[in-house]
Structure 1
Amino acid sequence: MTKVWGACPLDCPDGCSWVVDVEDGAAVRMRGNPAHPVTRGALCVKVNRYLEQTRAADRILHPMRRVGRKGEGRFERISWDEALDEIASRLGEIRETYGGQAIWPFHGTGSLGYIQGLEGFAGRRFFNVLGASVHEPTICSIAGSTGLKYTLGTAGGMDPEDFARSKLILLWGTNPLTSGHHVWKFIQDARRDGAYVVAIDPVLTRSAAQADEHLAPLPGTDAALALGLMHVIVRLGAHDQDFIDRHTLGWEEFRARIEEFPPGRVAEITGLPEERIVALGERIARTRPTAIRATQGMQRHAGGGMALRTLACLPGVTGDWALPGGGLCYSTSGHFKLNLPKLVRIDLLPHPVRSLSMTRLGEGLLDVDDPPVKALFVIAANPVGSNPHQTKVRRGLAREDLFTVVLEHFPTDTTDYADLVLPATMQTEHLDVIAGYGHLYLVWNEPAVEPPGECLSTSETFRRLARRMGMTEPSLYDSDEELARQLLDSPHPSLAGITVETLRKEGFARLNVARPYLPFADGFPTTSGRLEFYSVRATRVGHDPLPGYTPPADPGDGLVLISAAQHNFLNTTFGNNPELRRRAGAPTVTVHPDDAAARGITDGAPIRVSNTRGAFEAVARVSDRVRPGVAATSKGHWAKFNGGATVNATVDERDSDMGGGAVFHDNRVEIEPR
């Protein structure tokens, strides 16, 4: 029996370290690495079935060419030579006729690996040599990250392990027991020491049900609530004037902004009782340290960037940024100072190229014409299942003049539209490096077994394609281990001593930062070196110089529909797993009893959810787990298993306020019995 270190590549903060037991060339067991301080030997309900998923009956094992109409999902098996010849020929013709920018490498979050996945834009060197358009991964966290940078200079915040030191924890728009459960262990450690936990979420989630207190604001009103809480703190004189004077910029202007949001006004905006706002503000005022856990869900609306920008000010007002166990954690990815330029090699582009937004795929395929997108490579993504405006995305993918290549594990809703499908390796079958965005560890992934069938890693696929196209740039042929060494070749002190050899030996390595970690002990990485309540940089791109509140913007009527993570899927990964599909059941939409009664909807009844963009079918759940005016469903279901449409049929292809982020939770719908 051989034990092999591995790392979960999926789109989750936890970036787990795992151990695979291999016997006679087969992976026979997978478990969380007990030595990893965050994984602590446990994986999630989804990844516990990962080995089963690698051996699934519907796994794609050979290259395939479409034989039916786009969308039908009918294919014939072909050889790798045939596939590579066809791709090389078509790309050559497209580049010659339209230029390289007519090619769009569409990367998804099916893998966050630096070698095989999104974090290193796997295959990017190949596309740079072609002069292809640059893919902007706007679907997940970009609005919040952009907003945080205006306040803090970085999206990186406190170390989640330091939640164990907190006395008050605000779970703000996050449900860690479903999405990234390992932080809950540190929250439990804090509770044993007397910490109080407040969940702020429009839905009574698994995590909210375990909290000491739950507040349910209207979706998209988080910034107003944060300003109202700061109003209470300042009115009590509980703000940390010493910290403000020494470490912040623009306090007097921001204090005036705070004065615009008294609890009464905030109650009207958020739909919360005024006394609950005041009580939480008073609790924050008297409790040090206070920590905030806010993840991607809360910034998927028109004011998402402003929401995180404003929320990051709260620990600046209270001085919690200076305290172990205080501050805010959104993503730790900003702390990983890896050598991405050396890995991605944008310098290989023959000339500047345009960027295309991930969340505007339908628009990019149907409306962009300078040049039009003529070739689409889909890598670790299922945009028919995951992107906004599902109907528009389908129309774009149905274009007969669009050459679409999909690298995949399974026949998804998106592969049905491919011209060619290429079989990709899964995590136990290739080398990779992972950095969780919910901790401070790099994790090594050693291939544990040989790939099945004719599956190739993403990196090897592009090495072979470069060779087939006669490309002479030497770096296109770097091995996976060479790529990993280049990634780790960074002068930043946090990476000193972390090498391929140390990672391969230990399985993981913590960044060389202090414990406890105060990320801004030496100042903030802003232009001023201070936390910026007032941001000149924001004004240069047309934003308010001060944090504030930007309301939701969906012009529709009806209920606000939230589509949060499904407990049994991870985005659309595992959406085909029979056991996890059984556990998940059919798509449901939870509505408040008052809203259900007004629409003639009963618990368990079939319903139709619709707006001007599209519709999907679901089963009603009538419950006060959602507040009036709000409906809640989950993402991750595959359209082909659920009547041909999912919740994303109703979501607009519209940008948030900052960074071009998605607006999945700024979505109004009508619901009716069917």
Structure 2
Amino acid sequence: MTGGLRVLGACPLDCPDTCSWVVTVENGEAVTMRGNPDHPYTRGALCVKVNRYLEHTRAADRILHPMRRIGPKGSGRFERISWDEALEEISVRLRAIVDEHGGEAIWPYNGTGSLGYLQGCEGVAGRRFWNVLGASRHFLNICSTAGNVGLTQTNGTPGGMDPETFASSKLVLLWGTNTLTSGHHLWKFVQDARAAGAHVVAIDPIRTRTAEQADEYLPILPGTDAALALGLLHVVLEEGAEDRDYLENRTENWAEFREEILRHPPARVAGITGLPEEDIRALGLRLARTRPTGIRATMGIQRHAGGGAAMRVIAAIPGVTGDWRHPGGGVAYSTSGHVHLNIDTRDDLLARPVRTLTMTRLATELDESVKCLWVYTANPVGSSPDQNRIRERLLREDLFTVVMEQFPTDTVDYADIVLPATMQTEHLDLHAGYGHMYLMWNEPAVKPPGECLSTTETFRRLARHLGLDEPSLYDSDLELAEELLSSGHPSLDGITVDRLRKEGWARLNVAQPFVPFTDGFPTPSGRLRLPREAAYVPPHTATAAREPYPLTLVTPAAHTFLNTTFGNNPELLRRAGGPRVLVNPADAAARGLASGRRARVFNGSGAFEAEVEISDRVRPGVVAAPKGNWPKLSPGGAGVNAVVDARDADLGRGAVYHDNLVEIEPV
């Protein structure tokens, strides 16, 4: 076919932008991929990571066939077997586990490797199958739960601003978010706002790519964001700039929250946040005088002991200033709260209630009561806290571990059975961006290589092999997609499978510009619930003894990897230059560290090695080591999560990747 066949798809990865892409297929092979120029948010551009996606699907280390372990656990030694052999061995083991220990001895562990509603975590892929077996529930808390709970306590939903309306903002606060690395498509709308006179402020413990492009940068101490928010609001009150009409008619708990604000004058907040009092006061004055103010705060901001409280207070800012009234005003954390698909996980298939096991607690909850760990769209050895104890738990000979994967990750090395998984250009899926207001369709562009199967097809085949007679286990992907769109919610009016397959995407049926809470908040009272107590919860690093580990470690997103996806891509590995740790010159001098030399970062949980980069991009007492490197491809065989604790945040049992104390020494 002249010019090739154009197939519309969507990026499945854990990024708010969920890009629309166009794959050109010639003679059954995908030859090019580019961002869809017709999509209002993607606007024709993909990120540096996904630009190499087609190359990644054809990588030499792609897993193409089922495999059985033949070496010790952790050795990564396997032999190829057939699908029939794999399904038979799995069926025998699962039946024996259920018969002897009950279904709860199975832990289905899925993650954010795909955000698909069919193949990935958003639709809880495989849940019906696990319900029939009576398996334990899996609580996917690793990414955003503290912020989700905090926002829901305040707004009634984690949904907030339509990010496209940032083009109308006059003050943009990029708070704890590195837009140019994690969700760069928002930058176009920020640039539109700046062209119209907006002032852009980055608030971050690291002077990131985004901070360097902002008009103003505040190098806040990690985990003190709620205190800064209270300090800014203190200035708003000093100026008499609170929106009294909005507070009276659209909020509750104002009297109590006002008292909490008054307890946080800029001088006190300066001592907490490490920011100069005059900078806090100047930004507070700007906030008081500028409407609309749009705040972008993404998942990194809530990965500490007070993460939920931080999002509660930040969400309260536009309640005090009245910015929720305006296009371009409010807070954008995740748009997923505006997506109302019918996610029927068929909990009625459970014979009785079952326990819930928590994703970030794998190191402690993977105990003798768990006899089967089934991992899909996840790489816990590379991504989860307390890495060393996870490895120890995975060595148990009585633990039957199955991993559905595309590449030989660190987690695959501990599997008993490995099942080859499709990639996004090879299966059908439905997506909704958590950073925009569009549903996205992914049509398979090519046939899967080797013997790779999609998540849905793998569970259909396994159910058939086990002889399970529940009809819903065999629903096709198109039937599942039709069901997802059948919720009857007004935002889905006019959006059908046929339309999505033809057009590739559809905007949710909401106003444009979308101002989310014009008719009230989805709370019992219909009002925004301002915090009444515990408005600022300090991070662990501010309250724990700082000896013998005096440095606060944050683990931001890498520019070249997405979590651990692409962590084995040769070109992106070359660009990343290996694991790095950013150290302030004063801290480096005190420890005899030199740029370009390797250092050991350690605490009581473990250690990892990284090349030192001495830079004032971090302040004294704070070090930063980007996540994403595979431990087995890193010096010393360990990654940053070797020193990350499995503690919980204040709300939602969120993760604390930016709230750990370490020490550094030369190697």
Aligning the two structures, in what range does the TM-score lie when normalised by the shorter sequence?
over 0.9
Q: Distance in 2 between matches of 1:122 and 1:533?
A: 36
Q: Distance in 2 between matches of 1:250 and 1:362?
A: 40
Q: Distance in 1 between matches of 2:299 and 2:410?
A: 24
Q: Distance in 1 between matches of 2:29 and 2:514?
A: 41
Q: Distance in 2 between matches of 1:73 and 1:558?
A: 37
**Secondary structure at the residue paired with 1:574?**
coil
2:475 matches 1:487: no
2:32 matches 1:29: yes
2:594 matches 1:602: yes
Q: Distance in 2 between matches of 1:83 and 1:504?
A: 34
| Structure 1 contact 301–663 (Cα < 8 Å) conserved | yes
AA aligned opposite 1:485? E
Which residue, 240, 246, 249 being the options, matches 2:249?
Answer: 246
- Runs of 4+ with deviation above 4 angstroms: none
Q: Distance in 1 between matches of 2:406 and 2:595?
A: 37
Which residue, 304, 309, 316 being the options, matches 1:301?
Answer: 304
2:477 matches 1:517: no
2:655 — aligned with what? 662
1:542 — aligned with what? none
**Secondary structure at the residue paired with 2:59?**
coil
2:332 matches 1:339: no
1:13 — aligned with what? 16
**Secondary structure at the residue paired with 1:257?**
helix
AA aligned opposite 2:301? M
Which residue, 540, 551, 559 being the options, matches 1:559?
Answer: 551
Q: Distance in 1 between matches of 2:462 and 2:589?
A: 58
Deviation by residue 1:329-379 (Cα, 9 ceiling, x = unmatched): 000000000001x2x21221111111111000111113xx5xx11101101
1:225 — aligned with what? 228
| Structure 1 contact 309–547 (Cα < 8 Å) conserved | no
2:383 — aligned with what? 386
Deviation at 1:107, TM superposition (A): 0.5
2:608 — aligned with what? 616
| Structure 1 contact 533–546 (Cα < 8 Å) conserved | no
1:359 — aligned with what? 360
Deviation at 1:547, TM superposition (A): 5.3
| Structure 1 contact 310–547 (Cα < 8 Å) conserved | no
| Structure 1 contact 533–547 (Cα < 8 Å) conserved | no
1:540 — aligned with what? none
1:348 — aligned with what? 349
**Secondary structure at the residue paired with 1:433?**
strand
Deviation at 1:602, TM superposition (A): 1.6
**Secondary structure at the residue paired with 1:302?**
coil
2:553 matches 1:550: no
Which residue, 135, 138, 141 being the options, matches 1:138?
Answer: 141
Q: Distance in 2 between matches of 1:235 and 1:399?
A: 61
1:574-613 matches, cutoff 5 A: 574-613=566-605
Q: Distance in 2 between matches of 1:347 and 1:39?
A: 39
AA aligned opposite 1:208? A
AA aligned opposite 2:175? W
Q: Distance in 1 between matches of 2:209 and 2:664?
A: 24
1:291-330 matches, cutoff 5 A: 291-330=294-333
Q: Distance in 1 between matches of 2:592 and 2:59?
A: 42
Deviation at 1:546, TM superposition (A): 3.0
Deviation at 1:633, TM superposition (A): 1.1
1:572 — aligned with what? 564
Q: Distance in 1 between matches of 2:397 and 2:646?
A: 22
2:203 matches 1:203: no
Q: Distance in 2 between matches of 1:375 and 1:628?
A: 45
Deviation at 1:121, TM superposition (A): 1.2
AA aligned opposite 1:123? G
Q: Extract unaligned runs of 5+ from structure 1.
A: 535-544
Q: Distance in 1 between matches of 2:397 and 2:628?
A: 28
1:649 — aligned with what? 642
1:86-485 matches, cutoff 5 A: 86-340=89-343, 342=344, 344-366=345-367, 372-485=369-482
Q: Distance in 1 between matches of 2:38 and 2:552?
A: 43
AA aligned opposite 1:481? L
Aligned length: 658
Deviation at 1:533, TM superposition (A): 1.1
Q: Distance in 2 between matches of 1:264 and 1:527?
A: 37
Which residue, 53, 58, 63 being the options, matches 2:61?
Answer: 58
Q: Distance in 1 between matches of 2:163 and 2:474?
A: 38
User: C-alpha root-mean-square deviation of aligned residues, in Å?
Assistant: 0.8
Deviation at 1:597, TM superposition (A): 1.0
Q: Distance in 2 between matches of 1:206 and 1:376?
A: 39
Moved more, 554-563 or 159-168: 554-563
What percent of counterpart residues are identical?
A: 68
Q: Distance in 2 between matches of 1:392 and 1:322?
A: 49
**Secondary structure at the residue paired with 2:107?**
strand
Moved more, 349-358 or 437-446: 349-358
Q: Distance in 2 between matches of 1:547 and 1:517?
A: 32
Deviation at 1:587, TM superposition (A): 0.7
AA aligned opposite 2:480? L
AA aligned opposite 1:612? G
Deviation at 1:572, TM superposition (A): 0.2
AA aligned opposite 1:391? N
**Secondary structure at the residue paired with 2:637?**
coil
Q: Distance in 1 between matches of 2:261 and 2:648?
A: 27
| Structure 1 contact 254–547 (Cα < 8 Å) conserved | no
Deviation at 1:312, TM superposition (A): 0.3
AA aligned opposite 2:221? L
**Secondary structure at the residue paired with 1:120?**
coil
AA aligned opposite 2:639? T
Q: Distance in 2 between matches of 1:520 and 1:397?
A: 47
Deviation by residue 1:519-560 (Cα, 9 ceiling, x = unmatched): 1011001111100115xxxxxxxxxx4351101114353110
AA aligned opposite 2:362? L
| Structure 1 contact 34–42 (Cα < 8 Å) conserved | yes
AA aligned opposite 1:330? Y
Q: Distance in 2 between matches of 1:621 and 1:66?
A: 40
**Secondary structure at the residue paired with 1:116?**
coil
**Secondary structure at the residue paired with 1:313?**
helix
Q: Distance in 2 between matches of 1:353 and 1:37?
A: 43
Deviation at 1:491, TM superposition (A): 1.0
TM-score, with structure 1 as normaliser: 0.97
**Secondary structure at the residue paired with 1:406?**
strand
Deviation at 1:92, TM superposition (A): 0.5
**Secondary structure at the residue paired with 1:312?**
helix
Deviation at 1:656, TM superposition (A): 0.6
**Secondary structure at the residue paired with 2:366?**
helix
| Structure 1 contact 561–633 (Cα < 8 Å) conserved | yes
Q: Extract unaligned runs of 5+ from structure 2.
A: none
